[in-house]
Copies of this chain bind each other. A is one copy, B any other.
């Protein structure tokens, strides 16, 4: 994808908005990153927000065309498709963290959903880099750095601890 999408302008911020400036694209990417959802039905049914199936199909097709995601056939099931983040997609992580940071500070977030965000912020750029390395492993097959301490379980643990704290 090297060509202009619409004829608005070549401003970096505008171009990013033309790719991601809607209500659902980044939700899909968020769920792929933080929820490790790789299949259509997973993305469809297990999200907090409830995307419609036609919208999801459209966004997946679009993001694949734009080079943010890729799509492979699942070898274990002739009808299953596996969606992966490309490197271009993985590099959206810092943007998502910034969005979450602003939302956490300025909008009425739910505590058990905000805790993951806080963990990402507290971990700083090093944690973001670790998570990106982990995503490259999960989505691109890149080997993990030696001594890598997995990030996704840490995020899940923080979420469940907060949930337990609030319930119990």
Residues of A within 8 A of B (CB): 1-4, 8-19, 21-23, 26-27, 30, 48-50, 67, 88, 91-92, 94-96, 98-110, 113-114, 117
**Does A12 lie within 8 Å of B99, measured CB to CB?**
yes
Q: Report which of B1, B23, B99, B110 forms a contact with A95, defined as CB distance below 8 A.
A: B99
| A92→B107 CA distance, assembly (Å) | 13
**Does A108 lie within 8 Å of B17, measured CB to CB?**
no
**Does B23 lie within 8 Å of A17, measured CB to CB?**
yes
**Does A107 lie within 8 Å of B12, measured CB to CB?**
yes
**Does B23 lie within 8 Å of A109, measured CB to CB?**
no
- Which residue on chain B has the smallest CB distance to residue A96? B13
| A2→B109 CA distance, assembly (Å) | 9
Q: What are the nearest 7 A-B pairs in CB distance? A: A10-B110, A12-B103, A9-B48, A16-B103, A15-B107, A12-B100, A12-B104
| A103→B19 CA distance, assembly (Å) | 9
**Does B106 lie within 8 Å of A13, measured CB to CB?**
no
| A78→B26 CA distance, assembly (Å) | 42
Contacts of A18 in B (CB 8 A): 23
Contacts of A88 in B (CB 8 A): 106
| A52→B113 CA distance, assembly (Å) | 36
A11-B48, A14-B48, A17-B27 are contacts. A106–B91 as well, Cβ < 8 Å?
yes
